[in-house]
Structure 1
Amino acid sequence: MRFLPVTSNALLVELADLDQTLALLASLQREPLHGVAELVPAARTILVRFRPSATSAAALVRAIAARDLSQRVERSSILVEIPVRYDGEDLAEVAHLLGIAPEEVVRRHTGSEYTVAFTGFAPGFAYLSGGHPSFDVPRRSTPRTRIPAGAVGLAGTFSGVYPQASPGGWQIIGVTPVAMWDLGREQPALLQPGYRVRFVDIATLDGRVDAGGGISVDAPVRQPFPAADARGHESGAPGAAALKVKGTGLLTVFQDLGRHGQAGQGVSASGAMDQAALKTANRLVGNRSDDAALETVGGGLQLQSLGETVLAVTGADAPLTVRTADGRQWSVPAYQAVALADGDALSIGQPLAGARCYVAARGGFAVAPVLGSCATDTLANVGPAPLAVGDVLGLLPAPAGAVVGTPALPAADLPTVGQDVVLDVVLGPRTDWFTPESVARLAAQRWQVTPQSNRVGLRLAGEMPLERAITGELPSEGTALGALQVPPSGQPVLFLADHPLTGGYPVIGAVAPHHLDRAGQIPVGAWLRFNPIGAFEELQPCVA
């Protein structure tokens, strides 16, 4: 085993092969280690997230190094058959790469039984191992910007099915009508780690098949992420106060502290980009700190009070205006509770510093959780839909004894476009994949946030790209919040709240947890500097 640093609350265990990875995963699941919050297995690695208040990286390294990896993992008794129409765009290319006919590719793909090794990339996306020995297919040199839901692909020695339309670099050999992800099922992800999978050529079938959902092979592909309104407006008491959306700004979504513990289904935590601001907004109106609030980027959000309400706005430094039904208006401060009468409207202007504001309402929003959280994951399309003009947001009554908080102070170091934003960085886990000059350049060079940035990540542009010392393909591995992943362009992407669980490009470092809220407030156009807080060193399993 190798133990690689990720950040101050995560480490990466690298193993020799997939069998060892699954053996260690089974051991850690059978006998969990104290303080471990989540495990994200991948092809040859396990990302271990832990609570620093309960354990340390050194203690975990010692305990994990002592685990026995000789036991083989028992295969599941559950077999899922997936019908496939083998007409994919890359079928001929895959056949050419393997030196065989397209018909032989289909025969080999349907002639092997796969096992779900791990999940990631997107909810319901399973990495399937155990295919024909000849299947070792490189990813496409240029990923497609859109691959349809149900596309069946090959990458390296793995096979997989895209659960939703998304960008991707796998070689597509066919498509299935079976939904890999369906929130209407008790277990949304069709494929779970350990399940056995067999692909069936749809051309050989007649009528209906049981493919884990009992659907007709002639049925259209089901949308894995229905756009159903999950806000539960009717859950508020009749006649209770509400907020009517008069303007949404660039994007306004519900967020809480995140959807944790769903890595087994390929679902990342998501949650508020500035968690301290969300907690403060809730405290100011007397809510629990983990209640859902509205997160809005830039200016433009307008909320009209239906009945009497109490709101608080935190986060970015943005002008706030209250306008009455008869046209009177005045400015109100952020970071304190604001009482609105029936018909009053609260508007948020363009931020002077920071990027995102948080709006909490006394009593909390009547919004239905999805997989235990009200957070909207914009990459995975899990959670309530973004706000639209005309929406009416029901509010719950405040619990007895809930106390409105005293005014608070905003963050003192909100990022602006006019000054460099400095973020502390922990080097690892793949710092040694880059040249020494590039590691030095990460800290020495300024990086600008491009307009392509969003809740998934900040896309950065520097004068000189980062160059790799190791040019081979990296097997997919778990990625942490704040990771600086470097694609072939050499321009880093800083992963934020809605980042994928796993990625196939090396991570040179990760923003330290104490600067993640600051990262979530960085506006487009700002310039960043990274401050490594230590040298890159492997973690050694020292004897206590």
Structure 2
Amino acid sequence: MRFLPVSLNALLVELADLDQTLALLASLQRDPLPGVEELVPAARTILVRFRPASGRVAQLVQAIAARDLSRRAERDSTLVEIPVRYDGEDLAEVAQLLGITPAEVVRRHTGSEYTVAFTGFAPGFAYLSGGHPSLDVPRRSTPRTRIPAGAVGLAGTFSGVYPQASPGGWQIIGVTPVAMWNLDRGQPALLQPGYRVRFVDITTLDLAPDAGIGAEASGKPVALAANGRTRAMQAPLAPGQTALQVRATGLLTLFQDLGRHGQARQGVSASGAMDQAALKAANRLAGNPSDSAALETVGGGLQLQSVGETVVAVTGADAPLTVRTADGRQWHAPAHQALALADGDVLGIGQPVAGARCYVAARGGFAIPSVLGSCATDTLANVGPAPLAVGDVLGLHPAPVGAIVSEPAMPAPDLPTLEQDVVLDVVMGPRTDWFTAEAVARLATQRWQVTPQSNRVGLRLAGEVPLERAIGGELPSEGTALGALQVPPSGQPVLFLADHPLTGGYPVIAAVAPYHLDRAGQIPVGAWLRFNPIRAFAELSPAAASGAASTIRELR
């Protein structure tokens, strides 16, 4: 095993092959190590996220290194057949890369059986290993910004199906009408680790080309509903229930909480508020539990009208607030304190002068259902409530007995602005050695500007000189951490934020330190960044924990 640093709360275990990876994963699941919060397996690696306070990293490394990999993971015998219309935009290019015809690509893809090795990237996205050994193609040099749902792709020796429309760099050879992810099913992900998979040319089947069919665990074809999100806020209000009605949404307003942690096995990332400290502060000011759902709005423009008497609090970015009464009176309102709104009052949020995102909490909390244990909206995975629309009525729960509205608070210091460079501390790794020494130095010395293509998935950065790689070729997909600086072949990094994919296939040169993630979530488009490495890249050695046997025993 190799142990590579990822962040102050994560490390990457690299193994020889997929079998070893699955064996270690099975061992860590059978006999968990205290302090380990989540495991994200991939082709030859496992991303281990842990609580830093649970013990020294060296001791955790030593405990993992001592695991026996001789016991192979058990596989499932379930077979799922997926019909494919082979008309993908990269089919001809894949055939040219392999020196065969497009028809031969289809024959080889449908003539072999795959196994679900692991899940990641997005809910319902399964990495399928096996297949014809010749189907080994590189990812695209520049990822597409949008690949349609159902797209069937190749990357390295893996095959996969995109469950939702999303960015991606795989070579697309076709499309399937089968839903890979559907929250209306008891088991949302159609493909589970260990399942066997066969692709079938849809033109050979006796059904309409756009028929939506699939195979559940029984093996019988069943109709699959499309994966859509309902607008949960349209239910009528109960007598006497208070609410906030949306008069204007601004650029984008979403429900967010602290995220849906612990769902990596389903390919679901945590998502959650981009600035978690601001969300907690808004809830505290409104008298709610700190993990309650609140509204996250980017830029200015959000307007909310009080239905009945309500109490709200706005935190996060430094943005002007106004309150306008039903009879037309208007005044500026303070942020970072509880605001009492009378029936008909309209709260408005202006364009921030520092930071990018504001958080609005309401006393009692919003009456919205959770999805997989959270009310957070994941914009990449399309999980959670839909973005707010004009006219939405957001019902509120009654305030619990004993709830206390907090005293006014201070805004976060040093919110990012367009006028000053934003400095973020970073931990080098796990793939720093894939880059030239000049590129590693350039990461810290060069300014990087946030481009308009940025969103909750990540900040796309542009620097005068791209980062050059010392190691070419493909990196097998591996787990990616919140704050990772992934570098595609263009050499322009992407800083992964709350809605980032669980796994990725481009090398990560460094990761933003956890204590600067809230700051990263407040960086506006157009701002300039600088990265400050807080330690040099170095592999983590199990030998560093020698003599710590008693501590290791405690970790078991």
Which sits farther off after the overlay, 166-175 or 282-291?
166-175
Is 1:134 the counterpart of 2:134 in the alignment? yes
Stretch moving more, 437-446 or 194-203: 194-203
Aligned letter for 1:389? V
Does structure 1 residue 76 correspond to structure 2 residue 76? yes
Tell me the SS of whatever aligns to 2:215.
Answer: coil
Counterpart for residue 170 of structure 1: 170
Which residue is 1:460 aligned to? 461
Does residue 1:261 correspond to 2:271, yes or no? no
Contact 1:232 1:367 in 2 (8 A): no
C-alpha deviation, 1:85, in angstroms: 2.7
Contact 1:146/1:167 (8 A) holds in 2: yes
Q: Which residue of 1 aligns with 2:33?
A: 33
Q: Could you tell me which residue of structure 1 aligns to residue 350 of structure 2?
A: 349
CA contact (8 A) 1:487 1:506 kept: yes
Residue aligning to 1:85: 85
Give the gaps of 5 or more residues in structure 1: none
1:38 partner amino acid = E
- Counterpart of 2:318, as a letter, is D
Aligned equivalents of 2:293, 2:384: Cα separation in 1: 12
Q: Is the 8 A contact 2:141 2:489 kept in 1?
A: no
Equivalent AA in structure 2 for residue 179 of structure 1: A
Give 1:180's aligned residue: 180
Shift of 1:92: 3.7
Instruction: Indicate conservation of the 8 Å contact 1:40/1:47, yes or no.
Output: yes
Q: CA deviation at 1:435?
A: 1.0
Aligned residue among 195, 216, 234 for 1:212 = 216
Displacement of 1:88 in angstroms is 3.0
Q: CA RMSD in A?
A: 2.0
Shift of 1:486: 1.0
Per-residue CA distance 1:252-282 (angstroms, 9 max, x = gap): 1000000111111211111001101100110
Output the amino acid matched with 2:230.
A
Report matched runs for 1:414-453 at 5 Å.
414-453=415-454
Give the partner amino acid of 2:458.
G
Partner of 1:401: 402
How far apart are residue 104 of structure 1 and its match?
Answer: 3.6
Alignment match, 1:478: 479
Within 5 Å, give how 1:513-528 maps onto structure 2: 513-528=514-529
Q: Distance in 2 between matches of 1:33 and 1:130?
A: 31
Question: Secondary structure, in 3 states, of the residue corresponding to 2:364?
Answer: coil
With over 3 angstroms needed to count, the CA separation of the structure-2 counterparts of 1:365 and 1:41, relative to structure 1, is same
1:111 Cα offset (Å): 2.8
Q: Number of paired residues?
A: 541
* Higher deviation after alignment, 112-121 or 332-341: 112-121
- Is the contact between residue 2 and residue 13 of structure 2 (CA under 8 Å) also seen in structure 1? yes
The one-letter code sitting in structure 2 at the alignment partner of 1:72 is R
* Matched-pair contact (CA < 8 Å) for 1:81–1:210: yes
Give the distance between the partners of 2:350 and 2:393, measured in 1 at CA.
21
2:119 corresponding residue in structure 1: 119
Where does residue 195 of structure 1 map in the other structure?
195
SS of aligned partner of 1:277: helix
Q: How far apart, CA to CA, are the structure 1 residues paired with 2:267 and 2:201? A: 26
- Report if the CA contact (8 A) 1:83-1:217 is conserved: no
Indicate if the aligned counterparts of 1:13 and 1:46 stay in contact, CA closer than 8 A.
yes
The match for 1:229 is 231
Change in Cα spacing, 1:245 to 1:215, as seen in structure 2 (3 Å) is farther
In structure 2, what is the equivalent of residue 66 of structure 1? 66
Match of 1:326 in 2: 327
SS in 2 for 1:240: coil
Q: Which amino acid aligns with 2:231?
A: D
Q: Is the 8 A contact 1:243 1:304 kept in 2?
A: yes
| 5+ long unaligned stretches in structure 2 | 549-556
Amino acid at match of 2:3: F
Distance in 1 (CA, whole Å) between partners of 2:400 and 2:326 is 29
- The structural deviation recorded for 1:134 is 2.1
Q: What TM-score, normalized to structure 1? A: 0.95
- Provide the rounded CA distance (Å) in 2 between the counterparts of 1:513 and 1:232: 37
Partner Cα separation in structure 2 for residue 44 and residue 337 of structure 1: 50
User: In the aligned structure 1, how far is the partner of 2:503 from the partner of 2:496?
Assistant: 11
Tell me, in whole angstroms, the C-alpha distance in 2 between the residues paired with 1:397 and 1:290: 17
Provide the C-alpha distance between the structure 2 equivalents of 1:215 and 1:16, rounded to a whole number of angstroms.
34
- Cα separation, 2, equivalents of 1:99 and 1:276: 54
CA distance in 2, matches of 1:334, 1:269: 28
1:174 positional shift: 2.5
Match of 1:537 in 2: 538
Which residue matches 2:553?
none
Shift of 1:441: 1.1
Equivalent residue for 2:552? Answer: none
What is the aligned partner in structure 2 of residue 16 from structure 1?
16
Cα distance in 1 between the residues matched to 2:117 and 2:232:
32
Corresponding letter in the other structure for 1:537: A
Moved over 4 A (4+): 207-210, 213-219
Do residues 51 (structure 1) and 51 (structure 2) align?
A: yes
8 A contact 1:457–1:499 mirrored in 2 = yes
How far did 1:232 drift? Answer: 6.3
Which secondary structure does the structure 1 equivalent of 2:542 belong to?
Answer: coil
Letter in 2 for 1:400: V
- What is the SS of the residue equivalent to 1:53? helix
1:38: Cα distance to partner?
Answer: 0.6
Shift of 1:420: 1.4
Q: Report Cα offsets for 1:78-103 as digits up to 9, x if no partner.
A: 22222223333333433343344444
> What letter matches 1:15 in structure 2?
L
The residue that corresponds to 2:412 in the other structure is 411
> What CA deviation, in whole Å up to 9, does each residue of 1:387-426 have, x standing for no partner?
1111111011011111111111111111111111111111
Shift of residue 56, structure 1, vs aligned partner: 3.3
Question: Is the contact between residue 136 and residue 156 of structure 2 (CA under 8 Å) also seen in structure 1?
Answer: yes
1:170 alignment partner AA: W
Whole-angstrom CA distance in 1 between matches of 2:95 and 2:463: 39
CA spacing shift, 1:337–1:215, aligned 2, 3 Å: farther
**Match of 1:40, SS?**
strand
Aligned residues of 1:428 and 1:508 also touching (Cα < 8 A): yes
Alpha carbons 1:34, 1:55 under 8 Å: kept = no
Q: Which segment drifts farther, 55-64 or 118-127?
A: 55-64
Q: From the superposition, tell whether residues 167 and 273 of structure 1 become closer, same or farther in structure 2 (CA, over 3 Å).
A: closer
